[in-house]
Amino acid sequence: MRCARDPVVGASGDLVECVGTVVDITERKRAEEKLGESERRFRLLVESIPHHVWSFRPDDTVGYWNQRLIDYTGLTPEEIQAGGWAALHPDDVVRVKAAWQEAWVNGGAYEMEQRIRGRDGHYRRFVCSAVAVKDEHGRPAEWFGTDTDVEARRQAEEALHKAQAELAHVARVTTLGELTASIAHEVNQPLAAIVTNGQASLRLLSRSKPDIDEAREALESIIADSLRASEVIKRIRALLRKTGPAKSRLNINEAIREVIAFTAGELKKNHASLVTELAPDLPTVIGDRVQLQQVMLNLIINGNEAMNSPDLQTRELLVRSQRTGPDGVLVIVKDTGTGLDPNDRERVFDAFFTRKEGGLGLGLSISRTIIEDHGGKLWATSNEGPGVSLQFLLPPASKTNDEQN
Amino acid sequence: MMSKTNQVVFVVDDDASMCTAISRLLGAVGLEAQMFPSGQKFLASKLPDVPGCLVLDVRLPGLSGLDLQQEMFARGIHYPIIFITGHGDIPMSVQAMKAGAVEFLTKPFRDQDLLDAIRLAIRRDRAARKHRAELSKLRERLDSLTPREREVMTLVVTGMLNKQIALELGTSEKTVKVHRGQVMHKMKADSLAGLVHMTDKLGIEFTGLGGIGLKS
């Protein structure tokens, strides 16, 4: 109850009477308590949730930082009021400011991954997102946002990528080891031509009437073949190198042709013929040359091995590249082999799945990882005729990860 | 040095550089060469009817070297084959030699080894052609004999006298004499020994009572 006494003064200044009022303030008190309670709960919520919570005003001043954020950055209230950018990584400043500009203009949501410095001086990565509360004119009046710590997650992703790269390297080396005989043949071919050309030149020059022109052509062939042999060695070295992801613009057809040169011997050994249909006007792709060649190597060898069976009538491997969609690239490796059990169509991409004796079963699983890292897709379909088609799609250059140089 | 037009070496190798190098080598010693990147292309081409041989890579796309050898045999293409290979194909070499190849060389080979093999192969091919031509002529002559004349011939070359032949065939000695004369004339044999050679070449023999057969 609220009691109040209001004195009433007469004309002469003497107290005439007192008017008293008694108001039942029970309801109001209850409401105030509830509000206080609600405020406490709300504060508890905002302080306890495992994210930074903050607000930000048009004049670049900070409206609110929750305790977690204050504790993380270790900034003083003065430093905080000086500007919310204090703990932002200097290399992220440009990016973040640009994104804020955008958000202010559009009034839409803000979301950016940025690095924020902790009180220990180390930066951690956070996903920062905010929404605007608009004024009566529909313009953003204040932004309310959270930061979520994703540092641990990013480190785990990086470790995973590193492990995948190691595995891919191992698989690559193993595959190349299996191809040794073929590769030796690829080097031996130009060497044999060099020897024959050399011997021919000697004969041409020791005639009573030496054929200098023909001997010169023989020498030119010798040079070309020497370069051919060293190219093979160079390509093998490139494939054997342990590479970090190194994406660049590449001509997929050229990459495919190089791989075909490695596998020609294997196909011939199997009495298989190779048909290539490489579209001439393919869009440029952004990708890691070594990794994509690893995928091609894997698909071609798999296709060849699928045609191992002695009672096969035709052994033909088709390698086709074509444009797909606006600027994507589709590559198909089609065999005429023993075919795929419908149940296995997805299982073949599982790690360690193999129907091959002595096989590791890693090739397709690694290939799929590589293609998906490129933003693409790899899948298998049964042909209308005999055999299987393995196809992968690479997205247009604009949609993939940024080119690294 | 042999003239360029009366023999040819067919070089079949899918490695264009090797094909050209071998051609160049052959050209340097006055041998004419024709190049093919595959067995199919070789079989599809119109082959000149001159003595020659094949220099063939064992591993080819599509039709393998050994398959080509078999296919040629089936089609009655008789060129002798020299195999070359970039692999250390020992078992394949045995198989190839058993199938009648002249030589099996591994790359890189000595130029003299290839040239020697080619010369041997062409010599064999000339001899084989001569033999086939002769045989063909003899067959023509054989076909011109009547059945009775053939019977008489078969018995003549065993050394039987006309009298014996007449008894064997149930006819008169005079008839036998006439048939015998026709045989000598149609077969263009100038002596009994000559006729015997011919029947040997043709593989005809007397297989016994009432039988005339061809040597298997």
Q: How much is the CA Rg of chain A, to the nearest whole Å? A: 36
pLDDT tens-digit map of B149-200: 988 998 898 888 989 989 988 899 999 999 999 999 999 999 999 999 988 8
Q: Determine what percent of chain B is predicted with pLDDT higher than 90.
A: 51
The confidence score (pLDDT) of residue A358 equals: 60
Q: Please give the C-alpha separations between residue A93 and each of A5, A63, A76, A114, A116, in angstroms, as whole numbers.
A: 63, 20, 21, 9, 11
Most B CBs within 10 A among A187, A189, A267, hence the mutation to make, goes to: A189
Q: What is the mean pLDDT of residues B2-10?
A: 75
The confidence score (pLDDT) of residue B216 equals: 41
pLDDT tens-digit map of A156-180: 988 888 888 788 888 888 877 777 7
Contact B15 A189 (CB under 8 A): yes
In this complex, the residue of A193, A203, A217 whose CB is nearest that of residue B15 is A193
Q: Please give the C-alpha separations between residue A232 and each of A192, A236, A249, in angstroms, as whole numbers.
A: 15, 6, 22
Q: What is the mean pLDDT of residues A10-22?
A: 76
Flag the least confident range among A233-247, B135-149, B153-167, B191-205.
A233-247
Which structure tokens are listed for A36? 């206080």
Q: What is the mean pLDDT of residues B7-16?
A: 93
Find the Cα–Cα–Cα–Cα dihedral A299, A302, A307, A310, rounded to 10°: 160
Which structure tokens are listed for A127? 């996903």
In this complex, the residue of B18, B20, B109 whose CB is nearest that of residue A189 is B18
* pTM metric for this prediction: 0.62
pLDDT tens-digit map of A253-276: 999 998 888 788 788 778 888 999
Flag the least confident range among A169-173, A204-208, A285-289, B50-54.
A169-173
Looking at beta carbons, which residues of chain B come within 8 Å of A197? Answer: 21, 24-25
Four-residue CA torsion sign, A363, A364, A367, A373: negative
Contact A203 B25 (CB under 8 A): yes
Q: Is-cis flag, bond preceding B108, omega within 30?
A: yes
Residue A341 scores a pLDDT above 60: yes
Residues 6+ apart with CB under 8 A from A224: B17
The confidence score (pLDDT) of residue A317 equals: 94
Contact B22 A196 (CB under 8 A): yes
Flag the least confident range among A17-31, A149-163, B69-83.
A17-31
Q: Average pLDDT, whole number, for chain A?
A: 85
Contact B59 A268 (CB under 8 A): yes
ipTM exceeds 0.90: no
